[in-house]
Amino acid sequence: MEPMPDKSDWIAPECVLKEVVLPPRYKKMPSRPRKKRKKNPDEKLSTKTNCCGRCGQEVSEQQLLKAP
């Protein structure tokens, strides 16, 4: 094998030199749906508080109040 000659030494038709070659178009491959939708920055954050099912008092997410 011989190395390629310099680009100025190439012999190519004029129509080929004028043609612009673009990369192939990107196509998104199929995938699983997202778990949650993307929220807009101006959308309000959730202000819902967790309440105990027995007494109705506000509690943290993992906390369970004892029966009154």
Task: Report whether pLDDT(66) > 70.
Answer: no
Helix and strand counts by DSSP (H, E) for the chain: 1, 0
Q: Which residue type does 45 have?
A: L
Task: Report whether pLDDT(64) > 70.
Answer: no
Burial class (CB in 10 A: 0-12, 13-18, 19+), 36: exposed
- Over residues 26-40, the mean pLDDT reads 85
Task: Report whether pLDDT(67) > 60.
Answer: no
